[in-house]
Amino acid sequence: MARKPAKSAARKPAPKKPAKAKKATAKKAPTKKVKTKRLKARRAPVKAAARKVAPKSKKTAPRRAAKSSVKAAASAPRPSSAAKTTTGAEAPGFTLPTDGGGSLSLSDLKGRPVVLYFYPRDDTPGCTVEACDFRDHIPDFSGVNAAVIGVSTDSVASHDKFKAKYNLPFTLAADENHAVAEAYGVWVEKNRYGRKYMGTERSTFLIDADGKVAKVWRKVKVEGHAQDVLAAAREQ
């Protein structure tokens, strides 16, 4: 009968084990919460800093857009002249500086035929061939009392060099602001290797003694052009 209390005493310590497990789990739980709170606390300043930086990009965006629009406007080619001088029309008058420091007005040549030819640039291959072709036919043009005038957007100094280099015996006029080219409708949009720009379309106008346009050649092919113009001048 004395052995019964010993068994009950041995059974009593057993419930203590789950109590320890509860305590252990209770201690671990707060550590996870603390970690998440710390992570949130660290991330919060980063988000706040990102929010502060964001408005700067909004402020700079309109400036960049404005700059790009200015560049596009500057690089965009100007529209070509709407009005083109045609056969039978009154030749637009002009006064331009010429090689040698002189000046020329179309009205000064009234009473005789005038060959007014527009070319893109001094001392370039096609323009040189055309100028030399007119040079070689100057005696024939003089025979029909026709004046030959070459016009480009080059300066007077450039004309002086071009004229001296190839011994050109006719006047070269400097239309630097291309106002005369626009008046005759030869200042046009060009496309070279995909690049668009404004320039002079190679063209020739034969003006009769009364100041009217007798014939027009546009997009001139330089080979044999002077002979064609001479033939038309002889008919005036």
> At the fourth CATH level, which superfamily is domain 95-234?
Glutaredoxin (3.40.30.10)
Assigned token pair, 94: 């002009």
Give the residue with greater pLDDT, 192 vs 29. Answer: 192
Ordered by start, the domain boundaries in the chain are: 16-75, 95-234
Nearest-Å Rg of the Cα atoms of the chain is: 45
Taking 80 as the threshold, does the pLDDT of residue 21 lie above it?
no
Which residues sit opposite 17 in a β-bridge? none
Could you tell me if 159 and 99 are in contact, meaning their C-beta atoms sit under 8 angstroms apart? yes
Catalytic residues: 127
Name the one residue in this structure whose structure tokens are 């402020």. 59
By mean pLDDT, which of 23-27, 37-41, 110-114, 182-186 is the weakest?
23-27
Q: Which helix (H) or strand (E) holds 10?
A: helix 4-11
Query: Which of the given ranges, 13-27, 59-73, 104-118, has the highest pLDDT on average?
Result: 104-118
How much is the pTM?
0.66
Strands 114-118 and 147-152 come out as parallel
CA dist 25 and 13 (Å) reads 20
